[in-house]
Amino acid sequence: MTAPSDAPGVRARRDDAVARLGAPHPRIDGPLKVCGQAEYPGDVSVPGMAHAAIAVSAIARGRVTTIHRDAAEAMPGVLLILTHDEVGGAIRPVDHLMQGGYANSSWRPLASPEIRYAGQIVALVVAETAEIAAAAAAALRIGYAGEAPVACLADPRSAAVPLTTIKTEHHDRRSGDLDAALGAAAVRIDAQYTTPIQHHNPIELPSTTCLWEGDRLTVYEPTRYVVAAQHGLAAQLGLRPEQVRVIARFIGGHFGGKLALSQHSAICALAARRLGRPVRLEISRRDQFTIANHRTETRHRIRLGADADGRLLGVGHQAATASSRFDDFAMEGADVSTALYAAEAVAAEERLGRVDRNTPGPMRAPPEVPFLFAMESAIDELAHALSIDPVALRRRNDTAVDPVSGKRFTTRPLLRCFDAAAAAFGWAERSPRPRARLRDGWWIGHGCAAAARPVKIGPVALRLSQNADGAVRIETAHHEIGNGLYTLLATIASERLGVPLDRVTVALGDTALPPAGISGGSSTTTSLANALADACTALRRQPEGARSVRLDYLPPGAKPAAVDDLRAGHIKLLTLPEDALAWAFGAHMVEVAVHAATGAIRVPRHVGAFAAGRVLNPLAARSQYLGGMSWGLSSALLEKTEIDPRTGVYMNRDLADYLVPTAADIGSQTVVMVPDADDAVNPEGVKGLGELGIIGVAAAVANAVFNATGIRVRDLPIRIEALI
Ligand code: MOS
């Protein structure tokens, strides 16, 4: 398998210089995007295509009793209606991605009349146009027999149990005697924090376009794991994986959604097969709240004890998150929150509750965002109780090792991040006393918090070929999620092979290419920079002229079986090396202004300083950090999915009521990149930074709000109601 595929690639326009890593490079796919030529899956038009729409359940628990379809069937242009009567067992079950399968929710729509959550698919209607399909789906009259659901973790019937009883590979962290340490402490904090349900709202909605040619299926779908979608669909439809091709050459944002195999894809493929026509299903903004995944709500109890000098004696973190009744999806975060600072005694316990909702999923920096909101808020509370500057408190408790395992950090640039942020921000000007600065009717406050994240890496296969005329082509089934992967791979090959940037073509997002894993865990650059470096070295060993390398890249220290997982669409991201902690770090400093009369909150200034290994493209890195910082403000102040606790129905399923920031909500942002030369993390010294920028922002804002007003807000998002 060394022949290049027919997949079109992306190439820089007119750039005859050899690229230099570490120099800023604009996106090579930028012209395609701004000219409307980038092929997003939902835009692909297939001749003869019909359009599908879904009807979703109005109740959260029970069963469908009747579906009156006469009105829908009578509409001109309606081609097919699929309900549980037509589908039933025709689609085979596939497990969740994190439980050895491929799916982001193992829920099988239309398999039975059973209702397990509000907004689940109860019918698929196919018609000549998307408008007719939507109108016909709305015309279905559906009857239910309902039961009262358990809507959220706040409902005690969600019955959160220790995660150790559900996931055998989960270990709660413990060292020393926390109660004794807290008993001996001069100052203690014992506080509860919560974060809400949040939904990914990328501009590009989920969609699936299915095209059969004989017994071969081609699917255009925005998924950040095409190989898992391929294998999952094959398993669901009784096909061999080679019969299924999944294509996602561009993805219009995902924020952690669009994970692997989606539950709506197989029913679209089934409809296309039954109709003998290609079918596209696009999920509406409203329905993506229940068809795609979400960030679960979280609850935390943090206990800290310190001596009078601020030395931490004990750190306790108890947390609870929620999953669906049919999948065990849990974000585990206490391994980060309780390894951040030195402490003699540590105890962490994580619990998982069950609710009548779709399975939650990762949302960027899945555990670190909520877990460090809690921990970094509590650290600020401790600093205030001790009358110690919060940066000085972190300096006093800095550690070179994980206090529980004793493993060393490969590098530990946390305090250098705080120092760099402090210099850029002017932290020395901060008033330590809350509610001390009133400026033109606004209370002004300053707050800070840490960001920290373990580095992840995965195996990946790629093909690198060079023509006799020097032109280079790179192929891998990885994904352009907006992070600049086309650009990254082209610049690496240009520098390493000494060819001009516009002689390099990159093909991504297609299962016809060598297999790759998930675009997740901020692992993409880390994995591919190392893999492509190896491939370039191998290619250069071959005689000049037409030459080609097909590489199965295995990160140093990974088990050889990881390559089998790669081919089978079962990849697990790895934290390596095993005998150390390789983390990226950051520090946020924000200024907030809280209106004295109305409680309105503004964030005029935000400085983020980050250390994440070697930075290959500072232009792309800065964009990632700015995006993360903006989204962090969104998480701190705006984003929350409201659920009706009686019905289990999400209430704000649109962009009018689910709030995200606009440019007008963002004040001055400064990104500082702190050098972090780490030769232990991986050969290229890359750590991945896609998710780092968002972590800790919410705590920095909450801490600044306390400094401004003297009011401690422990529940996100922070809204006017808490401040007046
Ligand atoms: Mo992330 S939401 O772990 O890709």
Per-residue pLDDT of 384-400, as tens digits, reads: 999 999 999 999 999 99
For the beta carbon of residue 519, count every other beta carbon within 10 angstroms: 28
Instruction: Say yes or no: CB of residue 520 within 6 Å of ligand 1.
Output: yes
Do residues 648 and 144 touch, judged by C-beta distance below 8 A? Answer: no
Task: Tell me the pTM.
Answer: 0.97
List the strands of the sheet with 244-247, edge to edge: 78-82, 121-127, 50-56, 279-282, 207-213, 216-220, 244-247
Do residues 556 and 459 touch, judged by C-beta distance below 8 A? Answer: no
Instruction: Say yes or no: CB of residue 256 within 6 Å of ligand 1.
Output: yes
Q: What is the pLDDT of residues 471-517, one digit of tens each?
A: 999 999 999 999 999 999 999 999 999 999 999 999 999 999 999 99
Phi (first) and psi of residue 188, to 5 degrees: -130, 150
pLDDT grade, residue 548 (50/70/90)?
very high
- Atom 3 of ligand 1: nearest residue by CA position: 521
Q: What is the spatial distance between Cα 269 and Cα 30, in angstroms, rounded to a whole number? A: 32
Phi (first) and psi of residue 475, to 5 degrees: -135, 130
CATH for 10-38+460-556 is: 3.30.365.10
* CA of 691 relative to ligand 1 center, distance in Å: 7
For residue 628, is pLDDT > 60? Answer: yes
For residue 3, is pLDDT > 70? Answer: no
Q: Which residues belong to CATH 3.30.365.10 in the chain?
A: 10-38+460-556, 372-455+575-724
Q: What is the pLDDT of residues 235-253, one digit of tens each?
A: 999 999 999 999 999 999 9
Instruction: Say yes or no: CB of residue 479 within 6 Å of ligand 1.
Output: no
Q: How far is CA 465 from CA 247, 264, 548, 579, in A?
A: 21, 37, 4, 36
Q: Are strands 121-127 and 78-82 parallel, antiparallel or unpaired?
A: antiparallel
Instruction: Say yes or no: CB of residue 517 within 6 Å of ligand 1.
Output: no
First to last CA, the chain: 66
Catalytic residues: 691
Q: Choose which residue among 294, 453, 573, 691 to substitute to test ligand 1 binding: the one with the highest number of ligand atoms within 8 A of its C-beta.
A: 691
Q: What is the spatial distance between Cα 361 and Cα 98, in angstroms, rounded to a whole number? A: 10
Question: Per-residue b/e over 460-471, b at no fewer than 16 CB within 10 Å?
Answer: bbbbbbbeeeeb
Q: Choose which residue among 364, 369, 573 to substitute to test ligand 1 binding: the one with the highest number of ligand atoms within 8 A of its C-beta.
A: 364
Tokens at 489, concatenated: 């791979």
Q: Which stretch of DSSP H or E encloses residue 318?
A: strand 312-323
Partnered with residue 82 across adjacent β-strands are 124
Partnered with residue 366 across adjacent β-strands are none
Q: What is the pLDDT of residue 14?
A: 87
Radius of gyration of the chain (CA): 26
Instruction: Say yes or no: CB of residue 363 within 6 Å of ligand 1.
Output: yes
> Which CATH architecture fits 372-455+575-724?
2-Layer Sandwich (3.30)
Q: What is the pLDDT of residues 109-131, one digit of tens each?
A: 999 999 999 999 999 999 999 99
Q: What is the pLDDT of residue 1?
A: 41
Nearest-atom number in ligand 1 for the CA of 255 is 2
Q: How far is CA 512 from CA 1, 38, 40, 267, 476, in A?
A: 11, 19, 17, 23, 9
237, 266, 280, 122 alpha-carbon torsion, rounded to 10°: 140
Tell me what the mean pLDDT of segment 95-105 comes to: 96
Instruction: Say yes or no: CB of residue 521 within 6 Å of ligand 1.
Output: yes
Do residues 530 and 684 touch, judged by C-beta distance below 8 A? Answer: yes
Q: Are strands 668-673 and 601-611 parallel, antiparallel or unpaired?
A: parallel
Place of tokens 């555990």: 367
* CA of 515 relative to ligand 1 center, distance in Å: 19
Instruction: Say yes or no: CB of residue 364 within 6 Å of ligand 1.
Output: yes
Q: Are strands 161-162 and 345-354 parallel, antiparallel or unpaired?
A: antiparallel
Instruction: Say yes or no: CB of residue 362 within 6 Å of ligand 1.
Output: yes
Instruction: Say yes or no: CB of residue 691 within 6 Å of ligand 1.
Output: yes
Q: What is the spatial distance between Cα 639 and Cα 636, in angstroms, rounded to a whole number? A: 7
- Atom 4 of ligand 1: nearest residue by CA position: 520
Q: Which of 53, 89, 91, 88 is nearest to 72 (CA)?
A: 53
Partnered with residue 280 across adjacent β-strands are 51, 209
Nearest-atom number in ligand 1 for the CA of 363 is 2
Q: What is the spatial distance between Cα 585 and Cα 173, in angstroms, rounded to a whole number? A: 21
Nearest-atom number in ligand 1 for the CA of 518 is 4
Nearest-atom number in ligand 1 for the CA of 521 is 3
* CA of 363 relative to ligand 1 center, distance in Å: 6
For residue 186, is pLDDT > 60? Answer: yes
